[in-house]
């Protein structure tokens, strides 16, 4: 059974994903009209980017629905990493889009084409810019509340749109005022380079999550300070952290007085677990109790030895 807070977060993520798909489809229609009337390669590059956004947003929508499912017999850690897979697919599609625009831009250097109806193109791009900014504001709010990597990645895509749309509006203004048609090709090449860079960053973050990269150092420090401050706790070791896809997981060995009864050791461990969950709601926490001062082979020791080699 999902908690009320988790259910609300899932609801917000689905709304953000639905809004993203709707906007992407709308922008494709608007920019297709812009390409038809202006012949601008820069507008075409933006339209292709919107196509990639539609694909990415659809993948995000599916990933959010999958990741929102509770743990089951086959997936006892939940389905959160579906979001990382969606980010990886988005990165691949954005990279393909960037390469396509790059190819078309190089081609137009040798076969330049004049632009027409630039005023209409400017109107289309300004409308796209305003709608995109509204979506980003909503997505960032949702990502902040849910820690959703998929929604955060989608917002990053649309932030690229803000930059590209702004540059294309500038391009159309320059072409309209000074008839410098090569400026359109230059903008398209810059946009394609930015798309490729953004694809790399998204892929890097997705791979980090799939490879169970440790959470931010500040989070580890917060956990260590909190645990040490708890009553009856004499130390901790082998703290491991990871992101399950918007849900944090913490594993640690808790050092307690070896003379405690099993009942008391369990009670104190529960107190630590509850305090961690107060700091990071919906987190999964696994605690192993160890007698304080017990010598054993520890993960921390092994990692330190490896890092010194």
Q: HEC states along the chain?
A: CCCHHHHHHHHHHHHHHHHHHHHHHHHHHHHHHHHHHHCCHHHHHHHHHHHHHHHHHHHHHHHHHHHCCCCCCCCCCCCCCHHHHHHHHHHHHHHHHHHHHHHHHHHHHHCCCCCCCHHHHHHHHHHHHHHHHHHHHHHHHHHHHHCCHHHHHHHHHHHHHHHHHHHHHHHHHHHHHHCCCHHHHHHHHHHHHHHHHHHHHHHHHHHHHHCCCCCCHHHHHHHHHHHHHCCCCCEEEEEEEEECCCCEEEEEEEEECCCCCHHHHHHHHHHHHHHHHHHCCCCEEEEEEEECCCCCCCHHHHHHHHHHC
pLDDT digits (tens, 9 = 90+) for 146-189: 777 667 777 776 777 787 777 778 777 877 777 776 776 777 78
Q: What contacts 101, CB < 8 A, 6 or more positions away?
A: 44, 45, 48, 49, 188, 189, 191, 192, 195
Please, where in the chain does CATH 3.30.70.1350 lie?
Answer: 217-308
Q: Tell me the C-alpha distance between 253 and 294, whole Å.
A: 12
Q: For 241-258, what is each residue's pLDDT tens digit?
A: 988 877 788 999 999 999
Round to the nearest angstrom and report the end-to-end CA distance of the chain: 47
- Tell me the average pLDDT across 224-229: 94
- Average pLDDT of the segment spanning 275-279: 93
Residue 1 banded pLDDT, cuts 50, 70, 90: very low
Between 97 and 115, where is the model more confident?
Answer: 97
Q: Is the pLDDT of residue 210 over 90?
A: no
Contact 47, 28 (CB under 8 A): yes
pLDDT at 201 over 60: yes
Residue 234 confidence class, pLDDT cut points 50, 70, 90:
very high
Superfamily of domain 217-308: Cation efflux protein, cytoplasmic domain (3.30.70.1350)
For the chain, give every residue range classified as CATH 1.20.1510.10: 4-210
Superfamily of domain 4-210: Cation efflux protein transmembrane domain (1.20.1510.10)
Q: Using 50, 70 and 90 to split pLDDT, how confident is the model at 219?
A: very high
pLDDT at 299: 77
- State pTM to two decimals: 0.61
């Amino acid at each position: 059974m999902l908690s009320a807070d988790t259910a609300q977060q899932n609801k917000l993520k689905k709304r953000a994903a639905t809004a993203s798909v709707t906007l992407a489809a709308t922008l494709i229609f608007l920019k297709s009209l812009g390409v038809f009337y202006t012949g601008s390669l820069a507008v075409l590059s933006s339209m292709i980017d919107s196509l990639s956004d539609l694909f990415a947003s659809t993948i995000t929508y599916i990933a959010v629905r999958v990741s929102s499912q509770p743990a089951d017999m086959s997936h006892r850690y939940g389905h959160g990493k579906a979001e990382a897979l969606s980010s990886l697919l988005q990165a691949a599609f954005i990279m393909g889009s960037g390469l396509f625009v790059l190819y078309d831009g190089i081609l137009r250097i040798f076969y330049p084409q004049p632009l027409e109806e630039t005023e209409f193109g400017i109107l289309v791009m300004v409308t796209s810019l305003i709608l995109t900014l509204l979506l980003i504001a909503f997505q960032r709010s949702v990502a902040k509340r849910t820690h959703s990597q998929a929604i955060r990645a989608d917002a990053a895509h649309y932030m690229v749109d803000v930059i590209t749309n702004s540059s294309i509006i500038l391009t159309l203004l320059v072409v309209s005022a000074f008839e410098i048609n090569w400026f359109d090709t230059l903008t398209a090449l810059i946009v394609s380079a930015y798309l490729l860079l953004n694809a790399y960053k998204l892929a890097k973050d997705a791979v980090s999550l799939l490879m169970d990269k440790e959470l931010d150092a500040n989070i580890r420090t917060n956990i260590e300070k909190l645990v040490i401050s708890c009553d009856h706790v004499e130390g901790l070791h082998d703290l491991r952290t990871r992101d399950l896809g918007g849900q944090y997981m913490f594993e640690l060995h808790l050092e307690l007085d070896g003379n405690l009864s099993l009942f008391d050791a369990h009670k104190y461990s529960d107190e630590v677990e509850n305090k961690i969950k107060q700091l990071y709601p919906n987190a999964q926490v696994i605690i192993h109790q160890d007698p304080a001062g017990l010598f054993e082979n520890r993960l921390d020791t092994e990692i330190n030895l490896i890092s010194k080699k």
